[in-house]
Amino acid sequence: MSEAALAKEAAALDATDGLAAKRAEFDLDDGVVYLDGNSLGALPRGVAGRLCEVVGHEWGRLRIRSWEESGWWTAPERIGDRIGGLIGAAPGQVVVGDSTSVNVFKAVVAAIRLADTASRDEVLVDAATFPTDGYIARSAARMTGCRIRAVAAADMAREAGPRTAVALVNHVDYRTGRLHDLPGITAAVRAAGARTVWDVCHSAGALPVHLDADGADFAVGCTYKYLNGGPGAPAFLYVRRALQDRFDSPLPGWNSHADPFAMDPAYAPAGGAVRGRVGTPEILSLLALDAALGVWDGVDLAAVRAKSLALTDFFLRCAAAYVPEGRVASVTPEAHAERGSQISLRYGPGAGEVMAELVRRGVVGDHRRPDVLRFGFTPLYTRFADAERAARVLGEVIGAMEEGR
């Protein structure tokens, strides 16, 4: 298909996009195609003004009174419930705070402590997991006398057995964009008598997630990708309601005490998701995240998913038309049921140079060593015209680089 025909198709798709108006709620430069929201989401326009109010009035004028008068103290649970609505969790099961790594540690250790017998001494880890998940899981296993076994996420269901205490799985593979079977794996691991910890960093805000309905035990996720919470925004922890009374956090901080201001030297855990808290909440970043979540008001996640799949399909078609034949290969599954909201293309040893030149020309994706070009599609603000332009510039860059060799 010709460039003119693809550009015309992109314009027609954008004209009928039910989410198109959401783009105006973000601070974006029309001269740049931003396809790295799977690393850092764009800035929602409402955040800056809200932070000015927090700093100038709540901190600057009310000061210590804001813990009660401005609702600072309950922000981790209140904002957790907002995120819960985006990941299929009923209120009271999500708490926001700390980093993804810290929350992985809490969840994995707590899951091990829930094991019904001492013989459950095995931690299954997604073999292609984001590195920090593996690091944390190995440390948690050493501390609890367990052993780590790395298995492919696709094999997790059949690998769980009588020695398995917990399976730590990525919902979407960060490198390839492969979407794993959360309900199927969860059911199989539970049938084996073990618990699941799901990393939903690359699915929260990108596609519908149904933690309650699918029976997940624990889940963790960051908020600076598709949820647009900003750099270093606090992560979240989901604890299924049925497990909360037995959730034994390895980090029992004063914020998770049943009566934190009693300053009791003996620890007594609070009820509910509050047990997932540790220390003083990160108020500035928490409230920036709270403001950022406003872009999700009234958004249907089914529409987000439909647009994500349409965008990634269209990008692949454009790449096939523009990129010299045989120069790139998609490592992201073609099947919709197995695809997150990104496209990863394998190029070769020069992938880093290609991405650097794309960024210089105003198309921002990222490079995963050694040979993957990664493009994230954020349906709330990515246009079909962006997908067409990105593929066209990619073809130009690869063509020019190979001509020059």
Q: What is the tens place of the pLDDT at every residue in 279-315? A: 999 999 999 999 999 999 999 999 999 999 999 999 9
Retrieve residue 193's tokens: 């008598």
How many CB atoms are located within 10 Å of the residue 252 CB? 16
Under the banding of pLDDT at 50, 70 and 90, the label for residue 103 is very high
Provide the pLDDT for residue 317: 98
34 is catalytic: no
CATH for 48-296, options being 3.20.20.70, 3.40.50.11440, 3.40.190.10, 3.40.640.10: 3.40.640.10
pLDDT-derived band of residue 1, with 50, 70 and 90 as boundaries? confident
Catalytic residue list contains 374: yes
Which fold does the domain 3-30+299-403 belong to in CATH? Aspartate Aminotransferase, domain 1 (3.90.1150)
369 labelled catalytic: no
CA-closest candidate to residue 83, choices 100, 98, 99, 95: 95
| DSSP code string of 188-225 | HHHHTT-EEEEE-TTTTTTS---TTTTT-SEEEE-SSS
pTM, 2 dp? 0.97
Active site residue 50: no
Catalytic residue among 34, 105, 218, 224: 224
DSSP state of 329: E
Position 58 scores a pLDDT of 98
Q: Among residues of the chain, what percentage have pLDDT more than 70?
A: 100
- Catalytic position from the list 130, 236, 314, 384: 130
Region for 378 from its dihedrals, namely left if φ exceeds 0, alpha if ψ lies in -120 to 50, beta otherwise = beta
In angstroms, the Cα distances linking 90 to 34, 111, 240, 276 are 33, 21, 9, 16
pLDDT at 355: 98
List 225, 277, 327, 383, catalytic entry: 225
Q: Residue 392 corresponds to which tokens in the numbers above?
A: 């066209």
> Domain residue spans in the chain?
3-30+299-403, 48-296
Rounded Cα–Cα distance for residues 327 and 331 (Å): 13
Q: Is 307 a catalytic residue?
A: no
Q: Please give the Cα distance from 315 to 10 (Å, whole number).
A: 10
